């Protein structure tokens, strides 16, 4: 029992170290918060693997969802093959392990969930909302709804993204009184979504990931073919249900190891009393030898 | 006697488990090939995107304050 607890603790600490390191790497320009500036260096040619607003003063990398809409907006391109390739490559390599290990907003949500409060599960159908948001606000509206210059609206950033409101909106509005003068109904809408998301994250673990994240939706679809995957040795499983109970995304890894909701956090593997759940790049051989 | 009665049953069970494991391994192998194929496509898309200067659009967007992200539209 103690060995199992130690294993869970080590796995938890290791994951948290990776999450904090990824958060620090993605948001390394903390000094910019003081003057309300944003980083303008060459690293902004590249995107972070997770959701992180590029207008956050500390951000050193671009946001894949924001950048995807920006390229779609452009009358010159129509569709962003660079970002499609970028997200596809990361998704097929790691699946939603990106959400579990390197997404800065994922770490913020996990910290919010540590605030003491009644904890709830969300009904499964609500998890499909993120696919609708991806299709409508990230892919459709920016490509179809354009102004007289042929430039589309980055609809997800503009009307929904609570990460943008929190990471860019709040610090930049605090630092720039001239921006505060322009606040209107749109900001109220985004602030309301941010408050809803924060309250949601306190009550439901990774509320934004489960319901709203379009990047998580893409990585989730790629979980089915990702090379970094969950593998269960069915022969050794005693169906105790420990893995299902400990999963923060409410996935049963024994029956659905490729679930689009699985963030590959590894809690199930660490908690398994029989050590039959493995997470890695390749399948393990699981056949057993017959008795003579 | 004990061994004689238990072994055939256990072997049947082992065969069933191995058949399931074999099917999963085959599925896993297929999945690996599909994954590698998609990865190759993804790398090609990145190369095409860079060739048509999409990175510049990403860069220009990322170095300017995004008023939509803030909620100013």
DSSP result, A87-138: HHHHHHHHTTHHHHHT-HHHHHHHHHHTS-S------GGGGGHHHHHIIIII
Give the chain A residue whose CA is nearest to the CA of B41.
Answer: A85
Do A255 and A139 sit in the same domain of this protein?
no
Model confidence pLDDT, tens digit, residues A119-168: 999 999 999 999 999 999 998 888 887 776 666 778 999 999 999 999 99
Q: What is the CATH number of the domain that holds A264?
A: 3.30.70.20
Name which of A45, A88, A184 is nearest B58 (Cβ-Cβ). A45
Do A165 and A234 sit in the same domain of this protein?
no
Cβ within 8 Å, pair A83-B52: no
Model confidence pLDDT, tens digit, residues A238-256: 989 999 999 999 999 999 9
**Could you tell me the residue range of the domain that residue A66 belongs to?**
14-222
With CA atoms as reference, report the closest residue to A260 among A209, A211, A213, A224.
A224
Q: Is pLDDT above 70 for A283?
A: no
Do A70 and A41 sit in the same domain of this protein?
yes
**Neighboring chain A residues of B40 at a CB cutoff of 8 Å:** none
Name which of A76, A82, A227 is nearest B50 (Cβ-Cβ). A82
Tell me what pLDDT residue A292 has: 43
CB B7 within 8 A of CB A291: yes
Do A270 and A135 sit in the same domain of this protein?
no
Do A109 and A217 sit in the same domain of this protein?
yes
Band the pLDDT of B7: cuts 50, 70, 90.
low
ipTM above 0.85, yes or no: no
Looking at A195, A222, A249, which one is the last position of a domain?
A: A222
Do A132 and A202 sit in the same domain of this protein?
yes
Quote the minimal CA–CA distance from A118 to chain B in Å. 31
Q: Flag whether A289 is in a domain.
A: no
Quote the minimal CA–CA distance from B9 to chain A in Å. 10
Tell me what pLDDT residue B60 has: 87
Model confidence pLDDT, tens digit, residues B10-69: 667 666 666 666 666 667 788 889 999 999 999 999 999 999 888 888 888 889 888 888
Cβ within 8 Å, pair A154-B59: no
Cβ within 8 Å, pair A186-B73: yes
Q: Is pLDDT above 70 for A60?
A: yes
Do A98 and A242 sit in the same domain of this protein?
no
Do A37 and A122 sit in the same domain of this protein?
yes
Tokens of residue A202, six digits: 């306190």
Domain count across chain A: 2
Quote the minimal CA–CA distance from B53 to chain A in Å. 9
Model confidence pLDDT, tens digit, residues A201-228: 999 999 999 999 999 999 999 999 999 9
């Amino acid at each position: 029992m103690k060995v199992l607890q130690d294993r869970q603790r080590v796995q938890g600490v290791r994951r948290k170290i990776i999450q904090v390191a990824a958060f620090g790497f993605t948001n390394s320009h903390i000094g910019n918060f003081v003057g309300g500036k944003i980083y303008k260096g060459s690293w902004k040619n590249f995107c972070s693997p997770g959701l992180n607003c590029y207008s956050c003063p500390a951000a050193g990398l671009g946001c894949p969802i924001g950048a995807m809409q920006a390229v779609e907006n452009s009358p010159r391109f129509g569709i962003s093959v660079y970002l499609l390739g970028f997200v596809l490559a990361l998704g097929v390599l790691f699946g939603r392990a990106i959400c579990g290990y390197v997404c800065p907003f994922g770490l913020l949500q996990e910290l919010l969930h540590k605030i003491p409060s009644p904890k709830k599960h969300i009904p499964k159908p609500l998890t499909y909302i993120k696919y609708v948001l991806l299709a409508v606000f990230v892919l459709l509206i920016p490509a179809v709804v354009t102004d007289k210059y042929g430039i589309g609206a980055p609809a997800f950033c503009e009307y929904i993204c609570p990460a943008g409101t929190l990471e860019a909106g709040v610090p930049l509005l605090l630092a720039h009184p001239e921006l505060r003068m322009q606040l209107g109904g749109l900001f109220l809408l985004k602030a309301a979504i941010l408050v809803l998301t924060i309250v949601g994250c306190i009550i439901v673990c990774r509320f934004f990931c489960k319901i709203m994240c379009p990047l998580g939706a893409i990585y989730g679809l790629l979980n089915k073919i990702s090379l970094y995957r969950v593998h269960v040795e069915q022969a050794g499983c005693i169906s105790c249900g420990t893995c299902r109970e400990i999963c923060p995304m409410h996935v049963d890894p024994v029956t659905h190891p490729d679930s689009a909701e699985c963030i590959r956090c590894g809690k199930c593997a660490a908690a398994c009393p029989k050590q039959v759940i493995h997470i890695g790049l390749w399948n393990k051989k699981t056949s057993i030898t017959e008795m003579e | 006697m004990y061994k004689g009665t238990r072994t055939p049953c256990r072997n049947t069970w082992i065969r069933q488990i191995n058949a399931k494991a074999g099917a999963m391994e085959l599925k896993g192998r297929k999945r690996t090939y599909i994954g590698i194929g998609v990865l190759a496509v993804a790398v090609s898309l990145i190369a095409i995107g860079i060739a048509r200067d999409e990175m510049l659009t990403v860069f220009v967007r990322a170095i300017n304050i995004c008023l939509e992200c803030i909620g100013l539209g």
